Structure 1
Amino acid sequence: MSKPSSNGIAISIMAAAGEASTTAIAPLTALMLKAFFGLPLRALEGFINSIFQLMDVPLTSPSYSSISKRAQTVNVKYRLPSKGAVTHLVIDATGLKVFGEGEWKQRKHGKDKRRVWRKLHLAIDARTHEVIAAEMSLENVADNEVLPTLLNPLRRQLNQVSGDGAYDTRECHQLLLKKGSKATIPPRKNAGYWEEGHPRNDAVTALKSGNLAEWKRASGDHQRSLAETAMSRYKQLVSPKLSLRSYNGQVGEILAGVKVMNRVIGLGMPVRQPVS
């Protein structure tokens, strides 16, 4: 996704941060500017001060250490205003590096230092592409374990929820059934039948008969690729790495990036038309 002009996005980010409480405006604005422009904390402090100078306002940026500390407690409200029921929600997770060698060095010379990652879990509205829910976890936490934390806070009707085989567990299916959502989750290769009449059995039958691709087309499972697109959008627009070292600070850093991504989506999405 191409980035809008720097002036326009900076104004939009400040307007979005202004929706928060007064005590959270400064750290939230700083984190959003950091996410979009990819600035380290020291450079971020100077960047904000230069904006104030251009605006000719008697304000001073918080220090870089203050931004780092406040990131651990700031409450980032990244969700856009509710637009009713979600027709199709797609979910997936991706890794964000904290520190460690790059992929090229590891491939050429092997791994000689411990690599640390965090997992970003996203729930995407397939129609609008906006992030409906986001969570961060340690790299050893399974995707299906985060699903309740991801979906339980939502108060919107979810008509259909799609995920990959990592969510093919009884707990995930029970959660979606409780929320009144149709679960579109392809079964794993060694999947067996559950109790008679369970909706998942249709997918298992398609798997065993070699018609899983047809089941995916009929059920709309192909929409799940939009979650991959959203994760790629986050890494290109924000960053595939985290710069803050405390876990709570990383949560604030990630959610500020999600808020920026939702804000950019709200400014406009590409309109695709077939070429005759």
Structure 2
Amino acid sequence: MPYKYPKGKGWDIPKQKYGVTNWAKYTDSLRNRGRIDVWISEKAIEGWYKKDRVYDGTGTPFLYSDLAIITCHEIRKVFKQPLRQTQGLIDSFFESQGLPIKCPDYTVLSKRLAELDIKVPRYRKTDKPDDDIAGIAIDSTGLKRFGRDEWHQEKYKISAKRSWRKLHVAVDDDHYIQAALITDRYEADEEVVDELLEQIDEPFDRFTADGAYDSHDVYDSVLNHSPNADVVIPPPKNAVFDENNHAIRNINFNEIKDHGRMHWQKTRQYGKRNYSELAIQRYKRILGNTMQSREISRQKNEGLIGAGILNKMTSLGMPDSFRRS
């Protein structure tokens, strides 16, 4: 992604090639992602059920805690299982360990997913104290809600008839997803920046996004959250200088006009935007490009749970790469 430029203007840039310096460590981390180690802490067992169940006349209070529901859906997402199979898988884990707890019924898992109050992805790097965020890159992609698969379309010559949701992510320089959001497919990218920034607790030094986020409101939202942030958003090629535009947008425009787009990308670290694209690629490869839930209320929490799973895998290890000359 970084440093694209049309060949018609004299730029012939070969595809960049990278090598990995920590293959042994990274290979071990990939193996660990696939391990099935059944270990449950005493704290998790104690918190599996609701401790204080108050009967106030409004119905039966919840039996299972939010921790139990989220944990079950994390396992469901990783193994790409339907709800009934998820219940059977988790119960088999508990029975093999002789634990005094059970998986919630599949109907409970479905209903409670919509009611979970998940604000941000779990296992973020800022869950640890004194961690600064150097930069944030955001992007979005489509996740298939439902529809026929490719073989069915080819065989019967029918249209896809797909329905999509949009996954928006904000990723830091350590590849942790700091914020995630599921919206309708027609939601404009720049309209959800505020909601993403609300999930990020710490200020950051750099905000990187593509031209779809070139909006006055986006500049204001970023600076309201992190007043000292460097906003790196490329203006369109047909942009013109206008005093009514945001000051930072005009600075970006003048730098590109005076030194060229390639120079601007290098000096302003626009290539860091690739981290958000990489996070989206990892989400689709590891967790799939489809939503398991049907209703938007459940899909929103499913997206946050998926982002938390990727953060946990990131904590197990990532490759240290270098550019080959």
Alignment TM class, shorter chain as reference? 0.7 to 0.9
Cα contact 2:147–2:162 (8 A) shared by 1 = yes
Aligned-pair identity in percent equals 30
Residue 55 (structure 1) aligned to one of 76, 97, 122? 97
How far 1:275 sits from its partner (Å)?
8.9
For 2:302, the aligned partner's letter is E
Distance in 1 (CA, whole Å) between partners of 2:113 and 2:187 is: 23
- 2:131 equivalent in structure 1: 84
Distance in 2 (CA, whole Å) between partners of 1:191 and 1:111 is: 42
For 1:7, the aligned partner's letter is I
1:123 to 2:170 alignment: yes
Which sits farther off after the overlay, 35-44 or 109-118? Answer: 109-118
Distance in 1 (CA, whole Å) between partners of 2:94 and 2:166 is: 35
How far 1:107 sits from its partner (Å)?
7.5
How far 1:2 sits from its partner (Å)?
3.5
Distance in 2 (CA, whole Å) between partners of 1:20 and 1:146 is: 34
Unpaired runs of 5+ residues, structure 1, are: none
Residue 136 (structure 1) aligned to one of 182, 186, 189? 182
Residue 86 (structure 2) aligned to one of 44, 49, 59? 44
- 2:196 equivalent in structure 1: 150
Deviations 1:156-208 (A, max 9, x none): 11111000011100000111222312100011233222328822223323555
Distance in 1 (CA, whole Å) between partners of 2:34 and 2:294 is: 30
Distance in 2 (CA, whole Å) between partners of 1:247 and 1:40 is: 18
Computing the radius of gyration from Cα coordinates, the structure with the larger value is 2
1:93 to 2:136 alignment: no
Kindly tell me: are residues 275 and 193 of structure 1, through their superposed partners in 2, closer, same or farther at Cα, counting changes over 3 Å?
closer
Q: How does the TM-score come out when normalised to structure 2?
A: 0.75
Query: Moved runs in structure 1, 4+ residues, more than 3 A?
Result: 10-22, 102-111, 205-210, 271-276
Residue 184 (structure 1) aligned to one of 221, 226, 232? 232
Kindly tell me: are residues 234 and 46 of structure 1, through their superposed partners in 2, closer, same or farther at Cα, counting changes over 3 Å?
same
How far 1:152 sits from its partner (Å)?
2.8
Distance in 2 (CA, whole Å) between partners of 1:216 and 1:232 is: 22
- 1:238 equivalent in structure 2: 287
Q: Aligned-pair RMSD on alpha carbons? A: 3.1
Secondary structure in structure 2 of the residue aligned to 1:188? coil
Unpaired runs of 5+ residues, structure 2, are: 1-28, 51-64
1:201 to 2:250 alignment: yes
- 1:219 equivalent in structure 2: 268
Kindly tell me: are residues 193 and 85 of structure 1, through their superposed partners in 2, closer, same or farther at Cα, counting changes over 3 Å?
farther
